[in-house]
Amino acid sequence: MQNKRLIIIGLTSVILLLIPLLAMQFTDEVNWTGFDFVVAGVLLLGTGLMCELVIRKVNKIKYRIAICVAFLVVLFLIWSELAVGIFGTQLSGQ
């Protein structure tokens, strides 16, 4: 069962990366480079694997949920910064 979850995490990351790839075929609004796909893949896969580690190692369900939600919030903030620059750092997409 544990290896099955790892496969699901990997496949979910790939499927989510197919969305901008398909969008690039139909519109000029989406313009990702190979580096964008690599960064997004690392973020998605890393978040999924960190949540899997928490699920395996943390016993209390409340802590599991809290830690995984924290990982998802950090993923969202990093993704938002890279996309539109909500914090105005040098890493922003603008």
Torsion angles phi and psi, residue 12, rounded to 5: -65, -40
Would you state the pLDDT for residue 56?
94
H-helix or E-strand spanning residue 94: none
Domain ranges of the chain: 2-84
pTM of the model: 0.88
Taking the CA atoms of 43, 46, 49 and 53 in sequence, report the sign of the dihedral they define.
negative
User: Are 24 and 31 in contact, with CB atoms under 8 Å apart?
Assistant: yes
- Lowest mean pLDDT across 21-25, 53-57, 85-89: 85-89
What would the mean pLDDT of 15-44 be, rounded to a whole number?
95
Confidence of residue 67 (pLDDT cuts 50, 70, 90): very high
Confidence of residue 93 (pLDDT cuts 50, 70, 90): low
Q: Is 85 left (phi over 0), alpha (psi -120 to 50) or beta?
A: left
Q: What percent of the chain has pLDDT over 70?
A: 96
What would the mean pLDDT of 73-79 be, rounded to a whole number?
95
- Length of the chain in terms of residues written: 94
What would the mean pLDDT of 30-56 be, rounded to a whole number?
95
